Amino acid sequence: MSLGISYTKTGRVFGVGFAMLLGSVAAPAFAEEPTLNEEAFEASKQLYFEQCAGCHGVLRKGATGKNLEPHWKKTAADGAVTEGGTLALGQERLEKIIAWGTEGGMNNFSDIMSEQEIKDMATYIMMEPPKPPEMSLDQMMATRKIYVEEEDYPTEPMHGRNWENFFVVIERDVGKVAVIDGDTKEVLTHIPTGYAVHVLKASEHHSLEEPEQPGRFWYTMGRDGKMTKIDLWQTPDKMLVSEVKIAYDARDVAVSGDGKYVIGGGYWPPHFAIVDAQTMEPVKVVSTRGVNVDGDYVEEARVAAIYTTPNEPTWIVAVKELGQLWQVDYTDLDNLRIDKIDSAKFLHDGFFDPTGRYFQIAANASNKMVVVDTETHKLEAMIDTAALPHPGPGANWIDPNCGPVAGTTHLGVGTVTVWGNDPENRPDDAWKICYEVETDGPGLFVRTHPESDYIWADQTKHPEPEVQQSVQVISKETGEIVKTIQITEDEGSAAVHFEFNADGTEVWVSKWNLSDSKEPNGQIVIFDAKTLEEIGRIEGLYAPTGKFNVYNRSNHVT
């Protein structure tokens, strides 16, 4: 990718243009060592954005992943000073870490990067990180594109299909999402979106003010900051109706309860933007830089999860590095009310309890699940878990001993942690560990359905292929693993993410083809939710990862 960055012989920038995250106002003034030529530097910068920045940060100060600055120094409360950095680790050791991964939750990149890319990346992270530019409302507006005018939106579905059982599927590395008919298993279309879409959200049923046609409009957020609007009532060739870019690096999106606004959260710049849900015009941007729970100012305070609160006219915005959940009231954008709730670092992803009152979110680096009461706008609890909790869309169910519970997988260890989450009817069990299940390896996602007898957990973060390619099924009745299912034996592929169909009779699992992700050989493997037997495969997909069923997501089914 050409970024329009020109270098003098000394390696300093004198002309700047940018694409996505990677435009910068300054580049390293290269010393004698380490160095990269311009082509290798640009390629490594792009690859770092795609594969590394999410965990380690654009400025490389670390979050879920470790600090990757060339040199860092920390002073403890007792005055003790510790130092480290990538320069101290050196080229050879960094190459091994990148290639092989670590036991702490970093996967191996030997299947994703070539040997030369690994070598160049090791050199790149020993150089000073370039700082990307900011983004204004005017810059956002300039990126807006309309593919279908509002007056041309249909007043009823145009395809005669059961659209509430559609699945919207992320095709990660080709920058697309696929729309699949859950009844017929047909892939209806591949919609161009932002790079590596992280999350899709629909308009949802809301207890205060219903949007029109909940579940009809879907909004994606790519890692390149592009937000797209999808209309599932259109014919497949017209489902992409508009788009706008709200950041250079981003992760999440949510629709207001009344369906009027969409909010997108930036990793860089660290801000959130509020967009008109109909026109896709950006109307407000709010910086999230600030002072964290430790009292330190954080420049790269990134927005991780964003969710619409089902019972309040607010969004929950997780500011990762601050360790704060911001509850943002969208009823008066001119006088925006934000309640900042201190919790723990580094906030990542979460989900609501069945009542929609309590938001449960992982604070990865603190090994905690944080619980916020969205009715009082206050911290409810913090639950100690195993290393690096990561629930994804989460799971709620009824346990025979603890009553209503929720659970999470972990990036750092093969464990599913289960806790009580019904403070009104089961106060003695609420926010306390009910039990833990030891799995074969660390994973990304856990999922269930009210009609299912089981909880499904993946093991995508384990470095060994056989484990990485398998999922484990846990009984709600006994809390024990009842089946391990190997989704694929194809080299360079892994099993990841679950979604049930609308009535809970099927479970869909992704065969994620990491090593050749731009080829259409990814699959979705479908299982009978009762018998746990495979009943079909959907082929022809490009790196399928997350899957979102219209009915389940618009009705808060977890």
**Residues in Cβ contact with 222 at an 8 Å cutoff, skipping those fewer than 6 apart:** 175, 193, 194, 195, 196, 197, 198, 228, 250
How many contiguous H segments (helices) and E segments (strands) does the chain have?
Answer: 8, 39
CA–CA gap between residue 93 and residue 106 (Å, rounded): 15
Residue 300 makes CB contacts below 8 A (sequence gap 6+) with: 57, 58, 59, 61, 268, 270, 289, 321
Decide: 436 and 367 in contact? Cβ < 8 Å: no
Contact 511, 495 (CB under 8 A): yes
Beta pairing class for 314-319 and 297-298:
unpaired
Per DSSP, the three-state class of 151 is helix
213 half-sphere exposure, CB direction, 13 A CA radius: 13
Burial of 296 from C-beta contacts in 10 A (0-12 / 13-18 / 19+) = exposed
Beta-sheet strands, E only, within 343-458: 347-352, 358-363, 368-373, 378-384, 389-399, 403-410, 415-420, 433-438, 446-447, 454-458
CB contact set of 243 (below 8 Å; sequence gap of 6+): 143, 144, 145, 147, 193, 226, 227, 228, 229, 280
Active-site residues, by number, are 52, 55-56, 106, 348, 390
**What is the Cα–Cα distance from 121 to 256, expressed in whole angstroms?**
40
Residues 6+ apart with CB under 8 A from 142: none
Token readout for 2 is: 């050409």
What is the C-alpha separation between 355 and 311, in angstroms, rounded? 9
C-alpha 330/C-alpha 552 separation (Å) is 25
Show the 3-state SS of 92-116.
HHHHHHHHHCCCCCCCCCCCCCCHH
DSSP lists the bridge partners of residue 495 as: 511
The answer to whether 232 and 188 have CB atoms below 8 angstroms apart is no
